[in-house]
Amino acid sequence: MYDVIGDIHGCLTEFMLLTEKLGYQWDHHLLIHPEQRMLVFVGDITDRGPASVEMIRIVAHLVEQGLALYVPGNHCNKLYRLLMGHNVQVTHGLETTVQELNRLDSQQREQISAQFIALYRKSPLILYLDQQRLVVCHAGMQEKNLFKPLTRAMKSFALYGDTTGKKDAKGLPERRDWARKYHGDPLIVYGHTPVSRPRWKNHTLNLDTGCVFGGMLSALRYPEMELVAVPSSMPQISDRFRSFPD
């Protein structure tokens, strides 16, 4: 039994409220569910929100202890590359995570970097759960590529979705509606593209309800298929939400 959680982006308060609502309790710095349910993170745990470092600590610790699963998102990928010493642009929210890291003393900074690097390296871009009936991936995956070894193009799809390289009318990267063309049996649960309500399309579910943009933080209880959410405490930035035709 899983509780899949959408993009958190440093929204620790909402994460605490959501896990409480899902029935998790803190026990020795770990979130435990009395019915031994498991948390699954769809990626993008950092950037833009107020508590990215603490989210890294929590997620890394839970995964280390075998109490949670995680797939990296594009923001996680960029943070990983930064921490590995690559030259990345500190933009699109990464600046808040870097500010938080810079406020730590060097020993704490080293520790959190090492924790995140270890978390990233051991986490697959796609999780196949419940005998391959449940697929979790940050930005989604095409039906024809499920269960296959990941190529470079598939890795990019898993992190960024079906991008065109162009910008849309709002100046955001254009993303094709891959879920519309998905007709597979496995349920694909993903995030990445903020929508005002969790979006079911064919056998896919987008759980990124834009918590960091003032929406809400959403979870899917699986296999119950119940949606659980808490409202965001962040200011609402409505032009960050996308809408798709049904």
220 token code pair: 């899917």
Per-residue CA distances from 27 to 36, 67, 111, 116, 168 (Å): 13, 12, 22, 22, 46
Q: Quick one: 44 or 100, whose CB is closer to Mn ion?
A: 44
Site string for Mn ion, 19-48 (x = CB under 5 A): -------------------------x----
| Of 48, 57, 175, 192, the one binding Mn ion by CB under 5 A | 192
Angle among Cα 127, 17, 229 to the nearest 5 degrees reads: 60
Q: Which stretch binds Mn ion (CB under 5 A): 64-72, 114-122, 123-131, 192-200?
A: 192-200
Six-digit token pair at 239? 């032009």
As a 3-state breakdown, the chain gives helix, strand, coil percent values, each rounded to 5, of 35, 25, 45
Q: Is 135 helix (H, G, I), strand (E, B) or coil?
A: strand
Q: Which of 73, 93, 198, 215 binds Mn ion (CB under 5 A)?
A: 73
Compare residues 74 and 206 and give the one whose CB is closer to Mn ion: 74
Site for Mn ion in 196-225 (CB under 5 A): none
Q: By CB under 5 A, is residue 9 in contact with Mn ion? A: no
Among 46, 74, 113, 209, binds Mn ion (CB under 5 A): 74
**Where does this chain bind Mn ion (CB under 5 A)?**
44, 73-74, 192
